[in-house]
Amino acid sequence: MLSIKHKSKKQSFQLPISGYLGYFITKFFHFYKPITLIHERFETITLFNEISKIKIDKPVYITGLARAGTTIVLEMLSKHPDLATHQYKHLLIPYFPYWMYKITNKVRIYSKPTKRIHNDGIMITRDSPEAVEEIFWRKYFKHISIENSSHILNGNTINPKFENFYPNHMRKLLIAQMRSRYLAKNNYNVTRLEYLLRIFPSAKFLLIIRNPVNHIASLIKQTKLFMKMEKQIPFLLDWLKILGHREFGHNSICINVNNTELIHKIRKLWSNKKTYVKGWAYYWASIYDFIANSLEENKKLRSATFTVDYNKLCEKPADTIDRILEHTELPLSKFLKVREYYINHLHKPTYYSPDFSEQELSDIYEVTKDTASRFGLKIPLGN
């Protein structure tokens, strides 16, 4: 059975007082959603004149299965002066991006860097970029919270209420941060690229992919970590459910690419220690096969998407960063210092290493090799 070598033996999880306060604020506005939506509407009305002048042009979407490297790409691009993105402070009240930004700028709370709960070495503050918008997707598309239902939103999907709310929300974020383009990271968007491209024909997608051996090891590590945290911090389970962050833990939801039978197979494999890793291999392959098929079948989507190999980003950062900027049409001249910083600091994770058995490595290889080859990935055969 898989074991993961950790460089940290700490197994006790504690949240600061601000964490408890954050949960109760989020819970309040979630429980009294009618009041929340009335205030959201009022914020939109008060900003109507400014909103009406803004065009959503070339929004940038970062996606890929969780633990692929999407967070580090978000961290990096959020520093480009043209891009506005959600931040940790928006998790408290996601529906008021403009007011939340203005209020928190006047209050010095949660301004010192701290390690994020993923225990992956990334330091965060209230101003750090974060995936926030999933709460809106789950409000307007109820079925994507159901694992036994297909989560695919394609070019034929129509939802007038969401398509009215979402662009206005993006505009309010642009106004608050005084930026010209929108940036978002959302792992669940892997099944929504065609829909997003229909709404925003100029959208730019960054698909992050990672070799399945290391990727699966990271997914397993994170799953175990979240399960331990949820036992020690009971309300964390409820908080993550409200926010739509359900990639890990006891309440996790698999992304269903219109194959419920496969989801059941994966769940069954996960229930057996001997086949647990194999289940993750099937899950990895199902997500990236779906994306590969979508890119092959949709020429416009293929043109709008750049695939970022996480290993190449770490090994050849200069070339990969330049290609990301070229694809997203972001000016390099405004990004030189940030580019230089990441060229010198990007590296593969050092806080853990996979330690699979020979059988588990064989399972990963057999299940994922065809999918990996579609993206030009080579699967390491040894730990």
Concatenated DSSP letters of 194-257: HHHHHH-TT-EEEEEE--HHHHHHHHHHHHHHHHHHHHHSTHHHHHHHHHT--SSSTT-----S
- Residue written as tokens 């960054």? 206
What confidence score (pLDDT) does residue 7 get?
43
As given in the structure block, the two tokens for residue 115 are 């390690």
Q: What SS3 state is found at 174? A: helix
Are 364 and 356 in contact, with CB atoms under 8 Å apart?
Answer: yes
Give the Cα separation of 102 and 99 in Å (integer): 5
CATH topology for 15-374 is Rossmann fold (3.40.50)
- Residue written as tokens 């694992």? 147
What confidence score (pLDDT) does residue 117 get?
58
157 backbone φψ class: left, alpha, beta (φ>0; ψ -120 to 50): beta
In this prediction, what percent of the chain has a pLDDT beyond 90? 70
Ordered by start, the domain boundaries in the chain are 15-374
What confidence score (pLDDT) does residue 351 get?
66
What confidence score (pLDDT) does residue 298 get?
98
CA-closest candidate to residue 371, choices 290, 308, 298: 290
Give the Cα separation of 89 and 96 in Å (integer): 11
What confidence score (pLDDT) does residue 14 get?
64
What confidence score (pLDDT) does residue 111 get?
59
Give the Cα separation of 292 and 370 in Å (integer): 11
Model-wide pTM > 0.85: yes
Give the Cα separation of 195 and 61 in Å (integer): 12
What confidence score (pLDDT) does residue 33 get?
86
What confidence score (pLDDT) does residue 10 get?
53
What confidence score (pLDDT) does residue 247 get?
92
As given in the structure block, the two tokens for residue 195 are 């829909």
What confidence score (pLDDT) does residue 93 get?
87
All residue ranges of the chain with pLDDT < 70 are 1-18, 108-124, 350-352, 381-383
What confidence score (pLDDT) does residue 163 get?
98
What confidence score (pLDDT) does residue 89 get?
87
